Amino acid sequence: MDKNYPVPQEFWAGKRVCVTGGAGFLGSFVQQVLRARGATEIFIPTIEEYDLTDIEDIRRMLEDAKPHIVIHLAALAGGIGANRARPAEFFYKNLMMGVPLMHESWARGVEKFVAIGTICAYPKFTPVPFKEENLWDGYPEETNAPYGLAKKMLLVQAQAYRQQYGFDAIYLLPVNLYGPRDNFNLETSHVIPALIRKMVEAQERGDEQVVLWGDGSPTREFFYAGDAALGIVMAAERYNGPEPVNLGAGMEISIKDLAHLIARLTGFEGEIVWDTGKPNGQPRRRLDVTRAKEYFGFEAQMPFEEGLRRTISWFRENRERIR
């Protein structure tokens, strides 16, 4: 792999970049990184203005943005509860946002398409750490398979369009994200913001216990959103290959240990009770992050406990405007 990487300011000079989902959680960090690395023409389509499941809105957005590069972050995502309640929506909306967008980007001569996949695309029983070559070894974990498979089709499409048309589409697989500005709505949030909100509110009320789903045994890898944004932008600058690439921190922690860590950091001193009638989700998740370092020089920087402290601090400071 060529290590003569482009200078970021030179790479982004004069380039228009369209970031779908750019107004969202990860997108806010991607915007920051792009500006820090010299991008000045950043187009952020909002959901109010463009429905990316509508082909005409996709075409209108590309006409308005006239991008050289598309970074496709937009997704309908959520935790186990949301995926179980709305599997058809998670499949359809993610497929119809991604596949037509990549096709129309190719048809309009976009120079590069950066597709963001999901860790949920991996088979339920993938050997740990997850290596990219294991992606097709089995069916994803049932609770989020429709979402994972819809996003996985972008990898198939990227490789097919590269093979037939020479289209420079790359596919990245970020692990579970967390950080300031995350979604703290308990109906749709992922595990870290949900735990933070539950612990903070229980501590403020003086509750004696917090009830959590599952038995706490599954392990997860968590990836600070600022690090994820840097990895995505570095891949846009430096990576032009067909293989999928994991993006993560290369760490692993059980949900039980995570809950106790967040309890300590938030000051919750009550009992943690596990509702074992609720699903655990995939047993283990940790990524092999060798490719990202080898292919485009990316390594995660944020220490986990420091990232949690920043996330908890942001939640406390922004409580009034969080639903």
- By annotation, the residues acting in catalysis are 147
* Cα separation, 298 vs 230, whole angstroms: 8
Distance CA 323, CA 320 (A): 8
**Distant-in-sequence contacts of 126-135, Cβ < 8 A, 24+ apart:** 128/252, 128/284, 128/285, 128/286, 129/250, 129/286, 129/287, 129/288, 129/289, 130/246, 130/285, 130/286, 130/287, 130/288, 131/246, 131/288, 132/173, 132/243, 132/244, 132/245, 132/246, 132/288, 132/291, 135/244
Residue 284's Cβ-count burial label (10 Å; 0-12, 13-18, 19+) is middle
Query: Across 77-196, where does the E strand assignment appear?
Result: 112-116, 169-174, 176-178
Structure tokens given for 187: 């109906």
